[in-house]
Amino acid sequence: MPKTFYTERDIVDLVKQGVTSLIVDDDVVLTDLAYEKARKLGMELLRADDQPPGAPVRPYIAKLPSPSASGSGKATAGAPASAPVSAVGAGAKSEDDLYQRVYKASLAQLGDSVDPKLLGVIIERALKSISAK
C-alpha cells in the first residue's frame, strides 16, 4: 500500500476544511513541520491502536490461561485449610503464611494474565493495609 505524506501546507488545508483529527498509521508520514503545525493548530494525531500515554503494553493479558493454571484451581480447592493462628505470637510467620496462601491462590486463579512480581506487590500492600487497621 502506498504511503501518504503530509506537509505543513497539507495540515493547514485540512484545518481550513474543518478536519480536527488525523489517523496516523504505518502508511501515513508527517514531516516535522507538519507535525509541529498540527500541534499548534490543535489537530489531534491519532494512532490506530491509540492508548493513553501511561497505559502499559501487556501482551500477556490477551493470552489464554495455561492448562496448568486452570487445573490447579481444582486441586487447591480440596486442600484442607490451615488452623487459625491466635493473635498472640502471630507475628511475621502468620503474615508470611497468609501472603503465600493468597499469592498461590491468586496465581492459580489468574494464570498468565498477571505479572507475578506485580501480584506480589499488590498482595503485600493489601496485607499491610489490613494489619494497620
Classify residue 56: in a domain, yes or no. no
pLDDT-based confidence at residue 51 (cuts at 50, 70, 90): low
Domain assignment of residue 42, yes or no: yes
Q: Which residue has the higher pLDDT, 9 or 23?
A: 9
69, part of any domain:
yes
Q: Return the closest-CA partner of residue 104 out of 116, 92, 91, 90.
A: 116
Please state the rounded mean pLDDT for residues 17-38.
Answer: 91
Lowest mean pLDDT among 22-26, 32-36, 40-44, 108-112: 108-112
Same domain for 43 and 67, yes or no, is: no
Number of domains comprising the chain: 2
Q: What angle do CA 103, 109, 110 make, to 5 degrees?
A: 85
CA–CA distance, 34 with 5 (Å, rounded to integer): 10
Is it the case that residue 90 has pLDDT exceeding 60?
A: no
The arithmetic mean of pLDDT across residues 64-82, rounded, is: 48
Average pLDDT value for residue range 81-102: 64
Tell me if 100 is assigned to some domain.
yes
Domain span at residue 69?
63-132
pLDDT for 32:
93
Res. 95: pLDDT tops 50 = yes
**SS3 (DSSP) at 101:** helix
